[in-house]
Copies of this chain bind each other. A is one copy, B any other.
Amino acid sequence: MAVEPPTPGTARPGGRTARVRAAVLRAAEDALVEHGFAGLDLGDLAQRAEVGRTTVYRRWGSTTALVADLLTDMAEQSLPRARTGSLAGDLRANAQLVRRTLADPRQGALFRAVLAAANGAPGTADPGTTEALRRFYRRRVEEWAPCVTEAVERGELPPDTDEFEVIRAVSAPLYYRMLTTGEPLDEAAADRAAAAAEAAARAGAYRRP
């Protein structure tokens, strides 16, 4: 079913504008998972999403803008940080969330496609996608950083601990494992990533200079 362009003033949460956006973003995910960023085409996405081409071109204008919007949506849909009461519990929850996302066939393929689009060779990497991807990770790191600052307040970590570096340290080994080894992203790998980040943080490895 084709959806007409929204009439000005009709946009509301859950309304036609939101439905169109959801349909086009899901179509963009499908296309990224199947063919990567280079295979994206706004006309194809409009057809996949059963949305008018004019709507898609007017709303997003370019595949870069569409992927940026997809990353905004992914950040908005991502789960809020844990509040387990301990640094160990919070970091483990973070690691398991990252692990589940990357190990999920669809989500994992989506992240690999966007990472490839943002980090390929100069002639192929897309600068707008690079910026949108960095924004996505900044938002996710900021969401989880209070787990670390609260641990500092509880006296679990040195007072000058860089909370962003601790959160990044939880994700880093899981991404590295995915990108450079064929080894599974299992729960043990996630628990180890969390435990290592916690131990290094306690030892002062992430203190600000």
Contacts and interface: CB of A to CB of B under 8 A. Distances in A.
A181 B134 contact: yes
A206 interface: yes
B115 A36 contact: no
Contacts of A83: none
A39 B175 contact: no
A27 to B, nearest CB: 14
A118 to B, nearest CB: 8
Interface string A179-190: 111100000100
A123 B180 contact: no
B182 A206 contact: no
A121 B33 contact: yes
Q: Which of A137, A168, A196 gathers most chain B CB within 10 Å?
A: A196
Nearest to A172: B176
A192 interface: yes
A165 interface: yes
Interface stretch (A9-17, A50-58, A197-205): A197-205
B124 A120 contact: no
A132 to B, nearest CB: 12
A172 B175 CA distance: 8
A182 B125 CA distance: 14
A112 B134 CA distance: 16
Contacts of A39: 121, 123-124
Contact of A181 (B37, B137, B199): B137
Nearest to A209: B188
Interface of A: 32-39, 109, 112-113, 115-125, 130, 133-134, 137-138, 165, 168-169, 171-173, 175-182, 188, 192, 195-200, 202-206, 209
Q: Which 4 A-B pairs have the closest CB atoms?
A: A36-B121, A199-B203, A172-B176, A196-B200
